[in-house]
Amino acid sequence: MISLQGDCVLVTRPAHQAENLIRLIEEAGGVAVKFPTLEIVELTDLEANQVANVNLEAYDWLIFISTNAVTMHGYYSDSDRIKKFKSLRVAAIGKATEQALHKAGYLVDLVVENGAASEALLAKPEFAQVNAQRFLIVRGQGGREELANVLQNRGAIVDYLNVYKRVMPTVDNSALLQLLKQGMLAIITITSAEALQNLVKLVGETCKQHLLEVPVVVVSHRIRIIAAEIGFERIAVAKSPSDLAILHTVIECKRGGVWPK
């Protein structure tokens, strides 16, 4: 594997999810610049009571959108509630989400990678004929609507269980602005559209052009389109959202072999 040779790589994952990617970058010889552009916030007591009181017996499928959907959900309920209902099946978006569910004691019936999460899940044969089936989507507030919309078009009844919030953190951007002005930032890593949009806001207009000149590694083609619309020109898509896949794409960027011709 080619060493990053001291290249500065921006890590925008939420602080509690960034350590593994930071470690991989440093082991590859890079300098990981920790700059979280999203913060995952617990629910208020009122919202938490709504989570705890949800009637799981009413549903055929429980879909966990992310690892945060599992860990935040775990504060207010436990896997024993799921096990009581033999007909309730659990779907996970992403291998990391599946692992988090297993760790929490859940049995997972269906899992897809989260690069094209909704599309991949909807393509599964289990979700082809869902008329009159009831789905509960466990997610953060303000998530994408495509999964629910398609399921409803297929005749399903879909509800949301919002178990966490995503907010833009208060961070000191001075070190990042200095790196941008000096042209010292080699690559940006982005794992969600909201993280990308928040990054642009946190950098501000004075350094936006410097930001757009930096290559960016994203984890889906949907985020690539958003990055292009913002004005980034060198955008690479990792094969999966895993930290290892992100690192491999960062290294490919260093080789210069991933940009569109």
Whether residue 128 sits in one domain with residue 60: yes
Tell me: pLDDT of 10 over 70.
Answer: yes
Whether residue 108 sits in one domain with residue 45: yes
Higher pLDDT, 197 or 56: 197
Query: 191-233 pLDDT, tens per residue?
Result: 999 999 999 999 999 999 999 999 999 998 889 999 999 999 9
Whether residue 125 sits in one domain with residue 49: yes
- Structural domain contains residue 187: yes
- pLDDT > 70 fraction of the chain, expressed in percent and rounded: 86
Give the residue from 135, 166, 197 where a domain finishes.
166
Whether residue 145 sits in one domain with residue 70: yes
- Structural domain contains residue 261: no
The strands making up 39-41's β-sheet, listed across from edge to edge, are 39-41, 157-167, 134-140, 61-64, 89-93, 110-112
- Structural domain contains residue 1: no
Higher pLDDT, 113 or 9: 9
Partners of residue 134 on adjacent β-strands = 157
What pLDDT does residue 261 have?
Answer: 42
- Structural domain contains residue 189: yes
Whether residue 144 sits in one domain with residue 80: yes
Structurally, the chain folds into a number of domains equal to 2
CATH of the domain at 30: 3.40.50.10090
- Structural domain contains residue 12: yes
Domain region containing 220: 8-38+170-255
Give the residue from 166, 187, 204 where a domain finishes.
166
- Structural domain contains residue 223: yes
Whether residue 182 sits in one domain with residue 243: yes
Whether residue 116 sits in one domain with residue 93: yes
Whether residue 183 sits in one domain with residue 162: no
What pLDDT does residue 183 have?
Answer: 94
Count CB atoms within 10 A of the CB of residue 135.
Answer: 21
Q: Specify which of 102-106, 144-148, 204-208 reaches the highest per-range mean pLDDT.
A: 204-208
Whether residue 140 sits in one domain with residue 82: yes
Give the residue from 166, 194, 215 where a domain finishes.
166
Query: 60-95 pLDDT, tens per residue?
Result: 999 998 888 888 765 445 555 555 555 689 999 888
Whether residue 154 sits in one domain with residue 87: yes
Whether residue 118 sits in one domain with residue 81: yes
Task: Tally the residues of the chain.
Answer: 261
Mean of pLDDT values over 176-196: 95
